[in-house]
Amino acid sequence: MTDAELIAHAKKARERAYAPYSGFSVGAAALAADGRVFSGCNIENASYGLTNCAERTAIFKAVSEGVREIAALAVVADGTLPCSPCGACRQVIAEFSIGRIILANLSGAKKIVTPEELLPFSFSLDPANK
């Protein structure tokens, strides 16, 4: 799957965002190693701590369907810069070793990063990292 196709899945997911408090709609699409795509949007709540980001929604949907290998993740929002994940999402991305993260905006800007670039020194099950 091309970056453009994965971004298109994320854009479509963004249209379903529930963001009445921030007005900032985000979409994400996780590409499983087997080729399936799992999309997600941000879902806000009046109690902000209960909000779930688009990235975690997409990743958790994939995991709940038995996926453990995610090849790529696209994240899209309507900002001047490509949309960058929050800290919690960065840790979840690191947990599943998603090697290709495509950050994009609706204007066509994009940046490709690795989990290490997003979150150096992430928590890990690797005994060497403890």
Active site residue 65: no
Q: Which of 5, 44, 55, 117 is catalytic?
A: 55
Using an 8 Å Cβ cutoff, are 94 and 85 in contact?
Answer: no
Active-site residue list: 55
